[in-house]
Amino acid sequence: MDTVILAIISVTLFVILGSVYLEMRRQAKPKIAVYFPNGSKRISYRAKEEANVAIHIKNIGRFGLPKPCATTLAIFVYTRPTFLLKEFRWVDQSSPYVKQAPSGGIFRDMHYMGGKTTLSLFHKEEEVITVAMQMPEKTGNYPVKVPISSDQGDLGIHKLEIIVT
């Protein structure tokens, strides 16, 4: 009888410790929010307009004690080929690493610009990237995808939308 109780206690303790370990691992990764200056996921521009599109990147953290920093961020901005991407800037400086080409994989037929920097975001810290681009001639809603990674791993693919009127 004592052996059965000891086995049940051991298994229960193993499950509890395993759950705590998995939760701490989940919370140890930063959580990033991406949005336009007005705080929304959508912004409107006129057709053929040249604009400096500001995209806010914020480390919003997670619920609980670990509030990890996101270090060495790599951010790319993917748009439809109808957008003319001109320049990608971090914090008022041109990015040292910029590309613009059709992509493959999950972002098929989209053009992109981006860069990797030593920029780090502490908990609740926010930075702004600016992408100079010319809007397309045709009106409509166009997706913008912003994948972000850091030394802590993949921080997600954030979806925004530009409405061309």
Residues 128-162 pLDDT 10s: 999 999 999 999 999 999 999 888 888 899 999 99
Q: Token pair 């059965």 is at which residue?
A: 4
Residue listed under structure tokens 């061309």: 164
**Kind of pairing between the strands at 153-164 and 42-45:** parallel
pLDDT tens per residue across span 42-68? 999 999 999 999 999 999 977 666 678
Number of H helices, E strands in the chain: 1, 10
The residue extents of the domains of the chain are 1-29, 31-164
> Greater confidence, 29 or 129?
129
| Integer Cα distance of 141 and 41 in angstroms | 12
User: Which tokens sit at 142?
Assistant: 């166009």
Question: 92: pLDDT confidence band, cut at 50, 70 and 90?
Answer: low
What's domain 31-164's superfamily in CATH?
Answer: Immunoglobulins (2.60.40.10)
CB 158 within 8 A of CB 31: no
Question: Is it the case that residue 103 has pLDDT exceeding 60?
Answer: no
pLDDT at site 104:
59
Paired tokens of 77? 């901005």
One-letter-per-residue 3-state SS of 67-113: CCCECCCEEEEEECCCCEEEEEEECCEECCCCCCCECCHHHCCCEEE
